[in-house]
Amino acid sequence: MRLLHRAVGPLSTNVYVLGDEASREAIAIDTAKPCVAWLTGELAAQGWTLKLIVSSHGHWDHIGDNAEVVVATGAMLAVHGADRHGLERPDPGSSPFPIPSSVPALELAEGSHIRFGDIDLEVLHTPGHTEGSVCLLSSEDRLIFTGDTLFAGGWGRVDLPGASQEQMIESLSRLATLDPGLTAGLDALLD
């Protein structure tokens, strides 16, 4: 697995691209605005085909370029069913730019797997920040992508519509039981 990263937009949202070197297939996680030019440039430079875009949740700062990336790459879009509405009818919140609607082709669910090439990511439903927040776990690579469920020095807000402090506590408690040797997406780039 090869991992590419870029922080974009007014909130420095982490955009990840995971590529399988053998199959030349890739997925993108959280295609925030503006990432289209960087993403398509990296895909071309690596010789990868983007197969899937995963939105870890439906907030504007994580989905801003979903529609453009789908058009530019032909990739399918996936999100947990509980956050589908956030992609189809985005709430611009405090966004400094319009957030176009995007239509997920796939719904993620607890325990489902995203597989491409030799990469296998398990979907963990971790509500709290939003009803449909998910984390992606690669046990084999000891890597986890947590969206806004958990990040360096904190976790996602629980004072927004659809958020729940009780669910966030449960989700964080669940993540705390995982292998302590897991590396968060950004940390993996520093190794």
The total number of residues shown for the chain amounts to: 191
Q: Under the phi-then-psi rule, with left for phi > 0, alpha for psi from -120 to 50, and beta for the rest, what region is 79?
A: beta
User: What domains does the chain contain, in order, with CATH numbers?
Assistant: 2-190 (3.60.15.10)
What's the predicted TM-score (pTM) here? Answer: 0.94
How far apart are alpha carbons 170 and 174 in whole angstroms? 6
Q: What is the largest CA-CA distance in the chain?
A: 44
Condensed to tens digits (0 to 9), the pLDDT of residues 19-73 reads 999 999 999 999 999 999 999 999 999 999 999 999 999 999 999 999 999 999 9
Q: Which parts of the chain sit beneath pLDDT 70? A: 185-191
Q: By the 8 A CB rule, do 133 and 117 touch?
A: no
Task: Report CA-CA distances (Å) from 116 to 79, 103, 119.
Answer: 17, 22, 5
Instruction: Decide if 66 contacts 53 (C-beta within 8 A).
Output: yes
